[in-house]
Chain A
Amino acid sequence: MAAKVLHAIYNDDDLVLQAVKQIKEKNYHILEVFSPFPIHGLDKAMGLAPTRLAITSFLYGLTGLTVAILMMNFMMIEDWPQNIGGKPSFTFYDNMPTFIPIMFELTVFFGAHLMVITFYMRSKIWPFKEAENPDVRTTDDHFLIEVEVANHSEEALVKFLNETGASEVKLID
């Protein structure tokens, strides 16, 4: 996108939240907000859709459970139905109590790891990824709202952003 954007920098989280609401009210388009820590209610104010990561985790957990059941059923009941210490290896159900710990662990294992990997992929973060925050202070104590200029008047927009409490407003071509 070669469109012009404005970077408004704030130094207070309450201010950012208020500014986001005001910018939305004026129907300017917020491209991104960078902050050093999570601001409660920011995603709602910006109108971000809720994340579905928890749902993926649930599905991954079910996958793990299935893997555990299939694995142990095959190895202990179908492939080598041995008598080990008198444990009944006739059906999966007969010997199920001793399978529960591993069924549980694999459910958690799959649910946790695959969800984290999904998070990394969706948010595009991985070991050699270059950081994309436009101002280094946004990981310390500053907050940055990126607003698209589009067909609005630049001057009016800058003035407006200043009035919402921005400590700096920069034009980025």
Chain B
Amino acid sequence: MSSHYEAPIREPLVTGEKSYHDVTLDVVAPVEGKANKSWWLVFSIALVAFLWGLGCIIYTVSTGIGSWGLNKTIGWAWDITNFVWWVGIGHAGTLISAVLLLFRQKWRMAVNRSAEAMTIFAVVQAGLFPIIHMGRPWLAYWVLPIPNQFGSLWVNFNSPLLWDVFAISTYLSVSLVFWWTGLLPDFAMIRDRATKPFQKKIYSILSFGWSGRAKDWQRFEEVSLVLAGLATPLVLSVHTIVSFDFATSLVPGWHSTIFPPYFVAGAIFSGFAMVQTLLIIMRKVINLENYITILHIEYMNKVIILTGGIVTVAYVTEYFIGWYSGISYENYTYLSFGAATGAYAWAFWALITCNFIVPLTLWVKKLRRNIFWTFIVALVINIGMWFERFDIIVLCLSKGRTPSSWAMFSPTFIDIGTFVGTIGFFFVLFLLYARTFPVIAQAEVKSILKSSGDKYKRLREEHGDDHHVGEVEQFPASGGPSVNTEKNKSEEDLDSFGSNKENDDEIENALLDTEEKRIAAERLIDKVGEFDPKTQSEDNLEKINGLGPVTIQQLHELGVFTYNQVSKMTLVEYNDLDLIIETFSASVAKEKDFAGQAQKLKNN
């Protein structure tokens, strides 16, 4: 048998003693359930923001770019800032799914699906800006090298803006197929569980008829690995090419060879911050705390510390080189009346505070394992990284080589509205995704369950590394064919888990401290019947209106577990329970008709 050994020093990645089926149930719960009020509320807000942004975009395109706050000196501001910001956010998704796969990081499995979704939705937002910031967006197709009636007039392959077209479209499309291929087994799972015909139809189309054959899985894993190998250089190249928009120019402050790696590090930095923002909310809203654990959050915080450190080193390098180069323009951009002291000093210091000082707190273990603080830091980094792009773009443009063309920039409400609109659009897509897609790659989580699930880790700790749950006897089995059947095995499991059956003596000690109570309890059980855990399954008594968890706990101690038992109760039993259990009131029981409620629940 294959070993699922994992060093005991590693914390479990899946908590809550999950089995394979539990994983399935937890993943499909949001898909099969109905959206709650808060989902609709947030969705409505996002939709309004999106529609507002759409209005701004239509207004811009039909009126002209002059409706933005741009001027002759500063021809790029919020448009390209937002573009780079969104592209950067997208990078974490590919990093998680591709780079961490190459490094065989198991913790990526619970977060990769959502991180990839985030990538795709963020790149869609980013892709809007290169189009809408054009003066004549209806001629956008001219960027493609298509044979045409102008003597076949081609594009110029020297421009980084054209490289952007190739980079972003390759990035979006490759991320999409990578994501989709990974979704096939999960869609197949939902398809096979679906009971409504419409849902079944939709998910069978989405799952491409995935059947999970051994050969399919073999190819699937190879494809995932090769795509990860291709996506890793892709993710590095895409933001590198985005950085070329600036680095290949002659503008002081832009012309810099450090930009490609520095932009990539910044992209991962901001992308992980966005993943944290989204996942911290998501794990709470759709109950995924057992899969996206505090450990995942800590690991992501460590990546944030690393990339934040790289970004900080880049800031320092830029400053040093600005001074060391001896070029007055560079010096001016960074030192004289430039970034830190000029008209945009507030933006510069916002950047330093948000990207350098605040993330430093994550070096403290207590803080990086604190969900609330992580959420705050993630938000701050998102803001800081927006300022980084704003500073690079606007600050360097505002004071160029000719003082007569120095200018300031202030956005109009259309600039702002468009940005808000993309945030709205992003959340519209993400919220729809969270309700219709399996948000956790269940096939992958199941494959690490035995090595990294807390149940299996505990069993290994108790029984040694060679212990296997549900191990069968080798052929031929000594006890005959039935030795390996379901029933025998589950008993075996129970033993290895340590018995949690109630001991009669314990009950007496806990609740039945007087002879009177003991008699009452016996009478009760005689009436309602005994509960046999071997043949019966326990019901959720919390569904009975008026029964609290404490009371239920004590009912369990008495041996009352099912609706059937409760439904047999009469006033006599209510009074007995009133006597035994402090929190139980016979009058409430009568008023709310526990027995009647249980009868209904039993029949459902």
Name A residues whose Cβ lies closer than 8 Å to a Cβ of B. 11-15, 17-18, 22, 32-43, 46, 48, 50-51, 53-54, 57, 71-72, 75-76, 79-80, 82, 84-85, 87, 95, 98-99, 101-102, 104-106, 108-109, 111-113, 115-116, 119-120, 122-133, 136-141, 159-160, 162-167
Contact indicator B185/A36 (Cβ below 8 Å): yes
Which chain A positions have C-beta within 8 A of B244? Answer: 101
Q: B123-148: which have CB < 8 Å to A?
A: 145
Which chain A positions have C-beta within 8 A of B227? Answer: 112, 115-116
Q: How far is the CA of A111 from the CA of B564 in the complex (A)?
A: 62
Which chain B positions have C-beta within 8 A of A140? Answer: 20-21, 24, 189, 192-193
Contact indicator A167/B223 (Cβ below 8 Å): no
Determine if B509 is an interface residue (Cβ-Cβ < 8 Å).
no
Contact indicator A113/B177 (Cβ below 8 Å): yes
Among B79-87, B207-215, B344-352, the stretch that binds chain A is B207-215
Which chain A positions have C-beta within 8 A of B157? Answer: 72, 75-76, 98-99, 102
Contact flag A34-B213 (CB < 8 Å), given A101-B167, A133-B192: yes
Determine if B407 is an interface residue (Cβ-Cβ < 8 Å).
no
Contact flag A48-B158 (CB < 8 Å), given A108-B170, A126-B209, A140-B192: no
Q: How far is the CA of A18 from the CA of B211 in the complex (A)?
A: 22
Q: How far is the CA of A22 from the CA of B475 in the complex (A)?
A: 8
Contact indicator B214/A159 (Cβ below 8 Å): no
Contact indicator B222/A42 (Cβ below 8 Å): no
Closest-CB distance, A146 to chain B (whole angstroms): 10
Determine if B205 is an interface residue (Cβ-Cβ < 8 Å).
yes
Which chain A positions have C-beta within 8 A of B225? Answer: 54
Among B229-237, B262-270, B499-507, B530-538, the stretch that binds chain A is B229-237
Determine if B181 is an interface residue (Cβ-Cβ < 8 Å).
yes
Please pick, from B154, B156, B188, B219, the residue contacting A139 in the complex, using a CB distance under 8 A: B188
Which chain B positions have C-beta within 8 A of A54? Answer: 222, 225-226
1/0 contact string of B460-471 vs chain A (CB within 8 Å): 000000001111
Residue of A nearest to B448 (CB): A37
Residue of B nearest to A161 (CB): B481
User: What are some 13 contacts across the A-B interface (CB < 8 A)?
Assistant: A14-B450, A14-B471, A34-B211, A54-B226, A75-B154, A108-B230, A112-B227, A115-B223, A120-B208, A123-B220, A125-B210, A138-B192, A162-B482
Q: How far is the CA of A123 from the CA of B87 in the complex (A)?
A: 33
Q: How far is the CA of A54 from the CA of B227 in the complex (A)?
A: 9
Q: How far is the CA of A128 from the CA of B203 in the complex (A)?
A: 10
Contact indicator B181/A138 (Cβ below 8 Å): no
Chain B CB count within 10 A is highest, among A17, A35, A82, A136, for: A35
Q: How far is the CA of A22 from the CA of B484 in the complex (A)?
A: 15
Closest-CB distance, A134 to chain B (whole angstroms): 9
Q: How far is the CA of A133 from the CA of B450 in the complex (A)?
A: 24
Residue of B nearest to A111 (CB): B230
New A-B pairs, 9, CB < 8 Å, besides A53-B222, A160-B475, A163-B481: A40-B2, A41-B2, A51-B222, A75-B157, A99-B157, A101-B166, A131-B207, A141-B446, A163-B475
Residue of A nearest to B248 (CB): A98
Residue of A nearest to B244 (CB): A101
Residue of B nearest to A98 (CB): B158
